[in-house]
Amino acid sequence: MAKLRRTGSAALADDASLRLRAAWLYHGFGRTQSEVAEQLGIGRSTVIRLLEEARLRGEVKITIEDRVPDLAELSIELERALGLDEAIVVPAPADGASPAGAVGLALGRLLSEAVADGMTIGVGWGRTLSAALESFNPPKRTGVKVMSLMGGAVETQFANPFEFAWRLAAALRAECFLFPAPLVVDSGETRARLMADRGIARLTGIAAALDLAVVSAGGLAASSGSLVRQLITDEEAADLLARGCVADIMCNFIDAEGRVVDHPINARVMSVGIATLKAARHKLLASGGRDRAAAILAVHRSIGCNTLVTDEQAARALLDLA
């Protein structure tokens, strides 16, 4: 599988989460420095600096002192259980608030380090992805393309699918490609006609060769707070739930095994589709909250994620489900 590799190695020694993951892998699991480097997507020299910094800070003694209990070990358990290249787990909010901000913060830091020159990046939407923009501070990059993998919302109270794409592209000074259509159209015939448009056909061609796809997992229950609930009726949501839907990915509705649910609305969604997303070189999923665990697992089963950014509660629930 493709690995997301980091740059700016000198600054990484200040990343407590990365230091502790390196320490767990090296001291706790007996990996070599080269194996740790491959696991974390960084250079061996950076691993050496991380391990030395952890020792100097007193984080490695007889055991590994994790200031956020168990999260480094929890990340590794999640990688093993789901077959991920990397899992990044952040603490759950203590006050019961939405984890979107914390998960988004971790996502933004990861993308700041992982986006490389010449990458073609496809993105979805959601509160978590939008929150990532607060911590997204990449170095100068060249030849990057960013595209929205789905149509836009005509009316929304919170975020528009286009917003994350163009703001990410603006931060990178990259080319930006938006999907010039509503996210949900009135019929399958309308969708087929629009998908045949020359401009959209060009976009789907770009999407067929993605280096990185960045998506989130939406739930369908009324309590989930998913943005997709703004775009469908209560009757459609109830019907989807009755047919076994547990998640949506870019407004494609899937069951617990990651299969597209047999429902007319799936024929009306303007997006590149799950098959195209699955073919991306690296799939990055960011979503958190215990109530999203089933949705996260369904999306992983659907597209085969490489990297997962989530919170502690979702991680533990995922291990129970898996």
Under 8 Å CB-to-CB from 185, ≥6 apart: which residues? 191, 194, 268, 270
The pLDDT value given to residue 258: 95
**CA 1, CA 322: separation in Å to the nearest integer?**
21
How many Cβ atoms sit within 10 Å of the Cβ of residue 143?
11
> pTM, whole model, 2 decimals?
0.81
- CATH number of the domain within which 27 lies: 1.10.10
Instruction: With beta carbons less than 8 A apart as the criterion, state whether 39 and 31 touch.
Output: yes
DSSP 210: -
CB-CB contact of 217 with 308 (8 Å): no
Q: Is the pLDDT of residue 232 over 90?
A: no
67 pLDDT more than 80: no
Residue 224 has pLDDT above 80, yes or no: no
If asked whether residues 117 and 60 sit together in one domain, one would say: no
Whole-number pLDDT of residue 13: 52
Judge whether 244 and 271 are in contact, CB under 8 Å: no
**Residue indicated by tokens 């309308």:** 190
Task: Supply the DSSP string of 41-108, one letter for each residue.
Answer: TS-HHHHHHHHHHHHHTT-BSSSB--SSTTHHHHHHHHHHHHT-SEEEEEPPPTTS--THHHHHHHHH
The pLDDT tens digits for 77-129 are: 999 999 999 999 998 877 667 888 889 989 999 999 999 999 999 999 888 99
pLDDT of residue 242: 95
**Shared-domain flag, residues 110 and 224:** yes
Instruction: Give the DSSP letter of residue 233.
Output: -
C-beta of residue 191 within 8 angstroms of C-beta of residue 268: yes
Instruction: Tell me how many helices (H) and strands (E) the chain has.
Output: 14, 9
Count structural domains, the chain: 2
Is 2 within a domain?
Answer: no
pLDDT digits (tens, 9 = 90+) for 282-317: 999 999 999 999 999 999 999 999 999 999 999 999
**Same domain, yes or no: 180 and 279:** yes
The residue segments making up the domain with residue 26 are 9-67
Decide if pLDDT at 35 tops 80.
yes
- Whether 3 maps to a domain, the answer reads no
pLDDT at 161 over 80: no
Yes or no: say if 127 and 98 are a contact pair by the CB < 8 Å rule: yes
